[in-house]
Structure 1
Amino acid sequence: MPDKPPKAVSRSLSDLLADVRLSGQTWVYGDFAGQAGCAVAPGDAVFIHAVIHGELRLACTGGAMAELGPGDVAMVLSGEAHALRTAPGARAQPHEGLRRSAGCDVPPAMAFGDGPRVTARVLSGRLQAQWPGDVSRAALPSLLRTGTTLFQSDAMPLSGMGAGSAALLTRIAETLLIAALRADPGCRRILSAETRDPIEDALQLIVASPAQAWTVESLARSVGMGRSNFAAHFTQAVGKAPMEVVAERRMEHAASLLRQGRMKVAEIAEMAGYGSEAAFSRRFSRHFGITPSQMREEARAVREEAVPMPRFRALLAGARSRAVRASENTAEPATTTGTIPSDKIFFTQGRRD
């Protein structure tokens, strides 16, 4: 029998979000010294990482990635293996504190790396999730990024101090998850009361995680369809094959990162889902007609031209111009050889011997 799109959901978005629950008390601080990292083993859980200070990159085995800074919160909804690193290529030590569920009252701290000082601190949790019965968890993005804007900027650090911290942190995480699901267009569509279009859901998954190792089969499974029917319906609706759209989205994602000018080509290749920088460069050049390095340099030149001269520099330039004009006027030689009028003679007092 041919696959059919999921049936219409009659419940409101609030009803569905009310069924989202997080439980558990597994929380731990991670202190990263120098170039360090941690590797989190997969599990039937939702992993949450809130950056207290410093900057890290989170990379999932499925290809989803995120650059995180102070105040950012990342949620690995899929429970897949992932790693946090302060620098590309940093060694990722196993994160024993998140290997299994283990309740605590106050989050302990674990150290990663052996640098002279702590460069990043992360508060991480491993929690059990309950989802609405008529919502497929597989259709949700594997990685969801949010922030603590609902609370004060120091809400997470303060909540992790003192007795009862774990219970409070879990409630905060649940609130942040519901807010993130509500705010994300793709998640809202999946949870909405309208009839869901599996092809539109697939497009949203590709846009949200372009670096993930998508295949036609994995996309079809994520939206609840068989491979053959999904491929046929997708090509008919979009006008392109699923993997063509995946490749185009990866190129757009890579171009956006290149224009920002903050990352190396090898890093961008990885974040675009390519294991080889050479393969990425060849695909990029065929798609855009220029190499990744050329696009980055062109974007840098445009940024430099667009930067206005700071006001104080403009003032200094104006002052210099006025000074030059004044010096030119005073430097003109005197052409008058006549007698100076007596009323224009000035006397200065000299030294008395």
Structure 2
Amino acid sequence: MNLRVEQRALAQSDQDDVIVLGPSPADSSFSATSTEGAYKILGVRPGLTISVFDMVIGADFVGRFATEPCVAIDFLFEASGQGWILGSDAEQRLSSIPYRPGRIYIMVAPQGSVGLYDVPVGTRFKGMDIRVDIGLWQKLGAGDLLANLDEHHALHMASGNGTWVGVLPVPPDLLAVARALFDSAMVENDDLAFEARALDIINASIAAMRRTQPAQTVPPRDRRPLQRARDLLIAELAHPWTLDDLARAVGLTQKRLKSGFKSLYGFAVYAFLKERRLLEARRVIESGEMNVTQAAIAVGYSNPSHFSQLFLRRFGVQPSRVLALRSGEPVSSERPAVPASGPTP
């Protein structure tokens, strides 16, 4: 194994030993492979550890992971493969979680969790894993969120056996913070700046979870059709959706679709679709998978000029500029989204 491993506590953390809440390079699954790269586990403070990793996966990177009770916030800059939440017998695969770059994964496991992972040989796996134990999560004022996470939550991707996983695209401003934190862990020793960036990311993740809590005013009978409507929009971004088409597809009236969707997900239907289209377009442009015109068409915009105007308004930068900088440098002029309702997604 050519994986360089470091484990230490930050200078101000008041810890002698780092308690690893999640997977560790000391696990046999790491040592049994020819994985190359760097893996660091940093103890920020009691109850808070951060792992940063940049690895090229060797052979047979398939195995089981276990985590202590915690909330895990994961950024993946480069990734492939998938994981599974396991059932109480530690054998049954309950839910799968695809590993994809450009996303934040939030795993909530109040009682701990076990699962499986499978990453293809040759994959570059680069990112960070922030683990907050349940006691510290509650001290941060987010304990109430733990009781409101189910399959109806807007961020829900997978759940089972007491574990909940949500996923959201990385907002551009938060991506810049994440990259700065990653760089400071890999090449610098500015522990105070590292801790500050980590707390910024945790705070932003809590805010995202709180913004998208299910509204209690949505009738229970409408929740599943509304979730189906959301899934259809995400699965078919390029489809020329109308409210009538979407309402008929999920068995709701337009009125119940419009009011319920806004209450449950915090966006009007068309604003949600526009946001998802632009985030996906940004992802494929940044990754180099598509040029600007291809990305526009892939997410439903036949007019590249109109697409570029919407992209600029959303991210504060032209898509052609993002294409030019896709090597990894953050674009400092980006700004958070202000979703606008309207008839044109």
With structure 2 as the length reference, what TM-score do the two structures score? Answer: 0.38
Q: Which has the higher contact order (CA 8 A, sep 6+)?
A: 1
Which structure shows the bigger proportion of residues in strand conformation?
A: 2
With structure 1 as the length reference, what TM-score do the two structures score? Answer: 0.37
Q: Which has the larger radius of gyration?
A: 1
